[in-house]
Structure 1
Amino acid sequence: MTHILLVEDDPAIAMSLKVTCKREGWKITWLDNASSVLPMLHSLEAQDLSAIILDVGLPDGDGLSLCQQIRHTPDIDGLKDIPIVFLTARSDEVDRILGLEMGGDDYCAKPFSPRELVARLKAIWRREQLLSKQSATHTTATDNTTNRASSNSMSGQALTFECQSGIWHYQPLNYSLMWQEQKLELSNTERKILLTLLQAPNQVFSREQLLSAVSDYPDHRLARTIDSHIKSIRKQLATVDASIEVIHTHRGLGYALCPA
């Protein structure tokens, strides 16, 4: 069963979302404070979570910082890639950029329609399935670069990509992406960006194209957030092998796997 964790201190919003989610046949767990979230995520009951809806402004903490904790707490490794959608009363672009950079997958600005939020969650899950399916069926070959993937990612088969930077393995069931036999500690968005680049090693992707690849509701004013995600990806790759330039910046155009 689809299980949603809702972290929201406004009872009216929480009740509205609970009713909408139950109509979808989803289980929903409601917490009204930040301090209860990490203990809940450590519990066995949290292991079946499908997504987290997280209010940015909580009475006892900052939802943005809480998101960052979820993404970087080792002992809740199985939930580090869970989709997170922010609820925010802040309309400022800087706040939205910050939320995405800290590991959020999407956001809804208050006031919002519960049906819109449900649609955004479905879009995130659909995009995950599509990305895995595309990775599983797409094969690209060049003189020295090949990209091989298994034929059925929905069955849980691991995907393998081979290119000049080395061998990559992706496990759709637990969203684990490995390079040179080392697991990469990536946010959900960062993993999607890297998988998009891996599918077409010789293609230069613009910021707008990468943003569209990781969001069904891309706000192209936020395309510059891609730069921050690329920086974070490079930092993680450098912990595995700093001697290899995996992602190349094409000035004025975008990014591609090296060499392009």
Structure 2
Amino acid sequence: MSTCPHILLVEDDPAIAMSLKVTCKREGWDITWLDNASSVLPMLHSPEAHDLSAIILDVGLPDGDGLSLCQQIRHTTDIDALKDIPIVFLTARSEEVDRILGLEMGGDDYCAKPFSPRELVARLKAIWRREQLLSHPSVIHTTSTDNTVNETFSNNMSGQALTFDCQCGIWHYQPLNYSLIWQGQKLELSNTERKILLTLLQTPNQVFSREQLLHAVSDYPDHRLARTIDSHIKSIRKQLATVDASIDVIHTHRGLGYALCPA
């Protein structure tokens, strides 16, 4: 992320857009405002998008669906840097299912209208803070099948790349480009999926509850959305199966949660 964050705001309500622009300008952030869905993908393929730090995306746009637009950004754009860009949804919908869909389609967080612009700023800073913890890579190697993986991982969250073994194979995480590699192959994961998998990797064999995993991926966890973890786990398993379907990497402990590399 650049020293002066550049935010793409996609919001059709001028009053909300102006309020957010004023608040973000006070933070010293650059803002590009679009009021429709059809202009987003062309903008993302322009030079102006190369320094984007985050996207604030309204779910209900006059000419399109913000949820589908997020999915397009995550899965169809040919600009790799944008596939992992933080996306925060703005939604006037109070239904829990809409919030779940937003997170499952690749959103990092959401703000339900009406909201305080300061709250949105705080949520963006929290997302960036989690990413910046992993922004100064060096290399550490460890081979372990026990809890020393947890100690090594936790002591090096300042940004070192990790390469280590456990019962389910060899893993490598490179913070410079947020790539997580298993058995020599890069996994195509969303931000949330990557954070869940890294959390499980901290302690192979430990059972993590849905609530624990939810706290690991959000500074503002909504416990009503804990079931979204199941969908993310399903997506992670699908990715792992493309590499090696014979290994049961993530085990479900019914009523308890999930564990990596079960004994």
- Say if 1:51 and 1:137 are closer, same or farther in 2 by CA, change over 3 A: farther
- Say if 1:156 and 1:250 are closer, same or farther in 2 by CA, change over 3 A: closer
CA displacement, residues 64-84 of structure 1 (integer Å, 9 cap, x when unaligned): 001111110251222111111
- Alignment correspondent of 1:207: 210
- Say if 1:168 and 1:143 are closer, same or farther in 2 by CA, change over 3 A: closer
Please state how far the C-alpha of 1:4 moved relative to its aligned partner: 0.8
2:259 is aligned, of 253, 256, 259, to 256
- Alignment correspondent of 1:51: 54
Aligned pair count reads: 258
3-state DSSP of counterpart to 2:247: coil
3-state DSSP of counterpart to 1:50: strand
Structure 1: give runs of 5+ residues left out of the alignment.
Answer: none
Contact 2:169–2:183, Cα closer than 8 Å, also in 1: yes
- Alignment correspondent of 1:78: 81
Please state how far the C-alpha of 1:228 moved relative to its aligned partner: 0.4
Give the Cα separation in 1 of the matches to 2:143 and 2:137: 12
Q: TM-score, normalised by structure 2?
A: 0.89
Contact 1:147–1:161, Cα closer than 8 Å, also in 2: no
Give the Cα separation in 1 of the matches to 2:133 and 2:57: 25
3-state DSSP of counterpart to 1:108: strand
Contact 2:12–2:34, Cα closer than 8 Å, also in 1: yes
Contact 2:140–2:163, Cα closer than 8 Å, also in 1: no
CA displacement, residues 11-61 of structure 1 (integer Å, 9 cap, x when unaligned): 111111111111111111111111111121122321211111000001111
Contact 1:145–1:163, Cα closer than 8 Å, also in 2: no
Contact 1:8–1:58, Cα closer than 8 Å, also in 2: yes
Whether 1:176 and 2:179 are equivalent positions in the alignment is yes
Q: TM-score, normalised by structure 1?
A: 0.90
- Alignment correspondent of 2:3: none
3-state DSSP of counterpart to 1:139: strand
Give the Cα separation in 1 of the matches to 2:255 and 2:13: 44
CA displacement, residues 89-128 of structure 1 (integer Å, 9 cap, x when unaligned): 0001111111111111111011111000000101111223
Give the Cα separation in 1 of the matches to 2:210 and 2:134: 18
Give the Cα separation in 2 of the matches to 1:252 and 1:49: 41
Please state how far the C-alpha of 1:134 moved relative to its aligned partner: 12
Please state how far the C-alpha of 1:180 moved relative to its aligned partner: 1.6
Give the Cα separation in 1 of the matches to 2:203 and 2:34: 42
- Say if 1:88 and 1:237 are closer, same or farther in 2 by CA, change over 3 A: same
Please state how far the C-alpha of 1:204 moved relative to its aligned partner: 0.6
- Alignment correspondent of 1:115: 118
Please state how far the C-alpha of 1:183 moved relative to its aligned partner: 1.4
- Say if 1:129 and 1:136 are closer, same or farther in 2 by CA, change over 3 A: farther
- Say if 1:12 and 1:91 are closer, same or farther in 2 by CA, change over 3 A: same
